Amino acid sequence: MGTPNRIENLMTDKGSVPVYTTAVVEQPWDSYTEQDHATWRTLFQRQRELLVGRACDEFLASQDAMGMTEAAIPKFAELNERLQAATGWTLVGVEGLLPELTFFEHLANRRFPVTWWIRRPEQLDYLSEPDLFHDLFGHVPLLMNPVFADYMEAYGKGGVKAHAIGPDALAQLTRLYWYTVEFGLIDTKDGLRIYGSGIVSSKGESIHCLDSAACNRIGFDLERVMRTRYRIDTFQKTYFVIDSFQQLFDATGPDFSPIYARLAQQPSLPAGDVQAGDRVFQKGTGEGWLNDGDV
């Protein structure tokens, strides 16, 4: 097999547009350059140092337990031995973004797609799409946690279902992913901690989400989250806080069909709104917020 493709977003005069691909590929580990390994090392060291006292214990302990280290870009096959033994999940290599249904089907079968290629040195702080660092460092450790692992599978199954129901259901389900898997916070005995992959793989947002006075931090409520629009191009205006992974799993267990029907009758909420019934950990000052761009 030749080296797989590196499928990146396309830069156009309308900005960056996603390109989708469905292939599952062997990780071309021997093709990584010294620069690729150095990028991994730099990002790994930087984030691990920052995340002590910021990421939840489950994230850090799982990362160690699965043998993910700064030494070099990990081999999917080696991580898979530990992951399969722990929770039965398998990492599969992909070339870039997957169409929604393809992504859901992988999750529903306890397969997590990981982009095989890593960002370029000039993209250390930001890129507009998932790469190996985001996928592997950010998403994979918590798949070692039995409850979170079951949540991800249930999410995949729910995604297949929402896809068949229609675009509104899909948008509501995607908001749930965004505000939990990607940008979730968890309340612990030591204070708020990060578990969302989009946060742990970002230096700026790892600091912002816990330290900034600008953002809202609001207790997790399923329907509230599913109504809330979000931003893909700036730090989040609002973070939702779970009490435990079990709470998240239990809250998302019931059939969503009646919820989708009910939410179809209600307007979506701006990313930065605080609502009357919210359990407010912090009401943000809103400093620096842009008015447009909620998705």
252 interacts with, out of ligand PHE, Fe ion, none, CB within 5 to 8 A per kind: ligand PHE
Q: Decide: is 119 part of the binding site for ligand PHE (CB under 6 A).
A: no
Q: Counting contacts by CB under 6 A, is residue 252 touching ligand PHE?
A: yes
**The entry of ligand PHE, Fe ion, none that residue 161 binds, CB within 5 to 8 Å by partner kind:** ligand PHE
Shortest approach of Fe ion to residue 294 CB, angstroms? 19
The reply on whether position 258 binds ligand PHE by CB under 6 A is: no
- For the chain, what is the HEC assignment? CCCCCCCCCEEECCEEECCECCCEECCCHHHCCHHHHHHHHHHHHHHHHHHCCCECHHHHHHHHHCCCCCCCCCCHHHHHHHHHHHHCCEEEEECCECCHHHHHHHHHCCEEEEECCCCCHHHCCCCCCCCHHHHHHHHCHHHHCHHHHHHHHHHHHHHHHHHHHCHHHHHHHHHHHHHHHHCCEEEECCEEEECCHHHHCCHHHHHHHHHCCCCEEEECCHHHHHHECCCCCCCCCEEEEECCHHHHHHHCCCCCHHHHHHHCCCCCECCCCCCCCCCEEECCCCCCCCCCCCC
Smallest gap from residue 45 Cβ to ligand PHE (A): 33
* Minimum CB distance to Fe ion smaller for 27 or for 197: 197
Edge-to-edge strand ranges of the sheet holding 216-219: 191-194, 185-188, 238-242, 216-219, 280-282
Q: Which does 87 bind (CB under 5 to 8 A by kind): Fe ion, ligand PHE, none?
A: none
Smaller CB separation from ligand PHE, 116 or 178 = 178
Minimum CB separation from Fe ion for residue 122, in Å?
21
Binding mask 145-184 for ligand PHE (x = CB under 6 A): ------x--xx--x--x--------------x--------
CB of 27 to Fe ion, least distance (A): 18
Nearer Cβ to Fe ion, position 197 or 228? 197
Write out the binding residues for ligand PHE, residues 47-106 only, by CB under 6 A.
none
Least Å distance, CB 58 to Fe ion, is 18
- Piece in contact with ligand PHE (CB under 6 A), picked from 62-70, 96-104, 236-244, 252-260: 252-260
Minimum CB separation from Fe ion for residue 133, in Å? 11
Give the list of residues 6+ apart from residue 114 with CB closer than 8 angstroms, or none. 76, 91, 92, 93, 94, 132, 135, 136, 139, 140
From the list Fe ion, ligand PHE, none, which binds 196 (C-beta under 5 to 8 Å, kind-based)?
none
- The residues of the shown chain that bind ligand PHE, judged by CB under 6 A, are 151, 154-155, 158, 161, 176, 252-256
Where on the chain is the footprint of Fe ion (CB under 5 A)? 197
